[in-house]
Amino acid sequence: MEADIVDGAGDPIPITQLMLHHIVFINTGRADQSCDSVTGFDNLDSGFPMRERFMAAGEERQRMVLPDGYGYDPGSSPWAVLYMVMNHKPDANTDAYIRYTMTYDDDPSLTSVTPWWLDVNNCNADPIYNVRGTGDESDENIRVQDFPLTKAPFASTGGRVVAAGGHVHGGAYDLRLSQPACGDRTLFTSEPTWGEAEHPFYTVRPILHEPGPIHMSAFKSETGFPVASGESLRLSSAYDDSQPHTRVMGILIAYVAPDPGVTSSTDSCEEQLPTDVVESTEPPPGRADPVPFEIPLVAEDPDAPGGYVEINHPPGKLQKVKSGTRIRVSDSAVFSKPNVKIHKGDRLEWRFTNTRSNLHNVTLANGPEAIGSPNLSLDETGNPRTFARRFKSPGTYRLFCALHPTLMHERVVVRK
């Protein structure tokens, strides 16, 4: 199964016009393997149970590819789709469609797999986190999360991971899938391929976020990796920490087939790892290492070529403020203090008075250290929510709202 964004004639739309940033397919009739409830895109309790996430793709266009003899049986429940499209033009595009393509086989002898969603910031509709950026070229940021196999159909039987593929953002090294009960042995490493300098990910304008990989490695195996009921798999998400990376992700979808023969972690650990593991997708030509990249501030300008212009800072003079100063964020899509100067160690607080239908956030475009708030607004009772940051590194922080990157800008200058 795969997905893309196309026009009415079925032709793929180039990312110079529209980018399908990510898409998640959800089976509404089944519980999710790794999550009971979900925090909404607005960073509030959604009130909804998490349903089965069975296929997803990002800029790398990850595909679901299962080995021979296996298939995913979705049953008859409706599907839900969560997707994000980024428009690189100032005009609306009304001739655009999400198209998904799948190969279907009704052979009753196929073994049905269960999707197992592994996410180092799980149970969030927007599962982002930030990599600070230390300035040391050798530094690496690793975030780790364990996931026990406990829900139906694996509450009383073991299984085998027969396929998996990952998703990361700009600055990632890899995703490592390992087995803690077996000495944390590595089962598979999903590695990114980055585009060459002339690839559209690096040449599309305006620049709205750090480019992601053009491919992530995935595997399939008819034998599969054995996992006992109740046993955990571990996902480790590794990023370059020499420079800031905001709103990153570390996600891997594994597909598990039931196997009553795997009764304990002793069984799974004593078994040799399968020898029929193969890459299920071929990487295109590209670069193996993360590519250093700086995001500029970009403002709409109908008189400029392409309808935008890169800016050094928002309009207005630099205003010296005290530590603890509040910056209001409202429906008007502006920061109330767009240019502020503070001392090292001072703290700023953003107060979100915008309505829940008009979310905003605070995100670093470029500067000394990563800043990336959740998407915020008034809470369920109509009270403002806040996001605070103490600035420990001097320098100039250029900020924007990642949901409105051409409209909402702020400059924070931190003096020693």
The domain that holds 351 is classified in CATH as 2.60.40.420
Tell me whether residue 289 is in a domain: no
Contacts of 183 (CB under 8 A, 6+ apart): 269
Tell me whether residue 68 is in a domain: yes
pLDDT for residue 4: 95
Please write down the HEC assignment for all residues of 47-114.
EEECEEEEEEEECCCCCCCCCCCEECCCCCCCEEEEEEEEECCCCCCCCCEEEEECCCCCCCCCEECE
pLDDT for residue 90: 83
The reply to whether 194 and 230 lie within a common domain is: yes
DSSP SS3 for 251: strand
3-state DSSP: the chain helix, strand, coil percent, rounded to 5?
Answer: 5, 45, 50
Closest C-alpha among 186, 116, 192 to residue 154: 116
The reply to whether 373 and 271 lie within a common domain is: no
The reply to whether 261 and 342 lie within a common domain is: no
**Domain edge (last residue) among 253, 279, 305:** 279
Tell me whether residue 13 is in a domain: yes
The reply to whether 367 and 335 lie within a common domain is: yes
Tell me whether residue 84 is in a domain: yes
pLDDT for residue 267: 87
The reply to whether 264 and 407 lie within a common domain is: no
Closest C-alpha among 18, 11, 16, 28 to residue 79: 28
- Hey, what are 329's tokens? 């964020």
Tell me whether residue 411 is in a domain: yes
Q: How many domains does the structure of the chain reveal?
A: 2
What global pTM score does this model have? 0.96
User: CA end-to-end span of the chain, whole Å?
Assistant: 53
pLDDT for residue 166: 97
According to DSSP H, which parts of 184-327 are helical? 200-203, 265-270
DSSP SS3 for 32: coil
CA distance 35 to 116: 10
The reply to whether 41 and 147 lie within a common domain is: yes
Nearest-5° Cα angle at 117, 113 to 123: 145
pLDDT for residue 338: 97
Tell me whether residue 362 is in a domain: yes
* % of the chain surpassing 70 pLDDT: 100
The reply to whether 244 and 305 lie within a common domain is: no
Tell me whether residue 321 is in a domain: yes
Identity of residue 328: R
The reply to whether 173 and 270 lie within a common domain is: yes
Low-confidence ranges of the chain (pLDDT < 70): none
Contacts of 171 (CB under 8 A, 6+ apart): 131, 210, 239, 240, 243, 245, 248, 290
**Domain edge (last residue) among 217, 246, 279:** 279
Distance of CA 178 to the CA centre of its chain: 20
The reply to whether 220 and 255 lie within a common domain is: yes
**Domain edge (last residue) among 244, 279, 314:** 279
The reply to whether 267 and 326 lie within a common domain is: no
The reply to whether 334 and 274 lie within a common domain is: no
Closest C-alpha among 45, 40, 22 to residue 124: 40
The reply to whether 242 and 309 lie within a common domain is: no
Residue 403 is part of which domain span? 297-415
Tell me whether residue 381 is in a domain: yes
